[in-house]
Amino acid sequence: MDEPNTDLIQGTLDMLILKALSLEPMHGYGIARRIEQVSRGVFKVNPGSLLTAFQRLERVGWLDSEWRQTDKSRRAKFYSLTRAGRKQLEVETTNWNRRASAIARLLRAEG
């Protein structure tokens, strides 16, 4: 655990999960891997938080789940985005971009 920034910024986990699922349905480990790969190892996802987040997002109605065969013919729980989830992803992305650029501007001004 010597890599920096393994912890996710509070509240971004949901967005990352939604983003990871925006291409295709995936199972839990797949999602974790995708977040790790795409962020080039900056974000490491805690499995416990991840699985709990699935529960929460499913309850809210952004995710659907289904037990399916994997390519290795094992049973796994696959998550997919619902229409509400897709909309939520858009909203969160917009918000995030707005906030991120605001912070970037602030940092530039300080410098």
Partner 1 sequence: MSLWRQFTRGLRVLGNRKAADRETADEVSHYLEEATAALIARGLAPDEARRVARLELGGATAVREQVRGYGWENRVDILLADLRYAARSLAGNPGFTGVSVLTLALGIGASTAIFSVVDAVLLRALPYPHPEKIVRVWEQAPDSHRMNLADPNFDDFRTQSDTFADLAIYADWLSSVSGGSEPVRVDIAEVSSGFFEALGVAPSRGRGFAAEEQRLHGAPAAIVSYGYWQRYLGGATDLSRFHLRLEAAVYPVIGVMPEGFDFPAGVAAWIPREFDPILSRTAHNWRCLGRVLDGVTVAQARANLSAIARRIRNQYGKKVDLSDAAVVPLADALVGDVRTALLTLLAAVGLLLLVACANVAGLLLARTSARRKELAVRAALGAGRGRLIQQFLAESFWLSLAGGTLGILIAAWAVRILPAILPANLPRQEGVAINAPVLLFALAAIVAVTVSLGLFAAWRAATGDLQEALMAGSRSYSGTGASQRLRGFLTIGEIATTLVILAGAGLLGRSFLRLISTSPGFSPQNLITMEFSLPAPQWHMEEPVLVRQIHLVDDILTRLRAIPGARTVGFAGAFPVAAGDDLADGTFLILNGQKPPATFDEFERMAQNPSQAGHASYCLAGEAYFRTMGIPLIRGRMFGEQDDRNSPHVAVISESLALERWPHQDPLGQTIEFGNMDGDLRPLTIVGIAGDVRARGLDFPPSPIIYVDYRQRGVNANASPTILTRSAGPAGEIVSTARSIFHDLAPDVPVKFSTFADEMGGWLADRRFLLLLVGLFAAAALALAAVGIYGVVAFSVTRRTQEIGIRIALGAQRSAVVRLIVGEGARLAIVGVAIGIAASFAITRLLSSLLFGVSATDPITFAGVAVLLCLVALLASYIPARRAMRLDPNSALRYE
Site residues, partner 1 (CB under 8 A): 27-30, 32-33, 46-49, 51-52, 55-56, 58-61, 72, 74-77
Report the residue number, 59 or 108, with the smaller CB distance to partner 1.
59
Q: How far apart are CA 88 and CA 18, in angstroms?
A: 8
Report the residue number, 29 or 41, with the smaller CB distance to partner 1.
29
Report the residue number, 52 or 101, with the smaller CB distance to partner 1.
52
Taking the complex as a whole, the smallest distance from the CB of residue 67 to partner 1 amounts, in Å, to: 8
Taking the complex as a whole, the smallest distance from the CB of residue 41 to partner 1 amounts, in Å, to: 13
Residues 6+ apart with CB under 8 A from 42: 5
Report the residue number, 69 or 97, with the smaller CB distance to partner 1.
69
Q: How far apart are CA 92 and CA 77, in angstroms?
A: 25
Rounded to 5°, the CA angle 7-106-11 comes to 30
Taking the complex as a whole, the smallest distance from the CB of residue 59 to partner 1 amounts, in Å, to: 5
Q: How far apart are CA 58 and CA 25, in angstroms?
A: 14
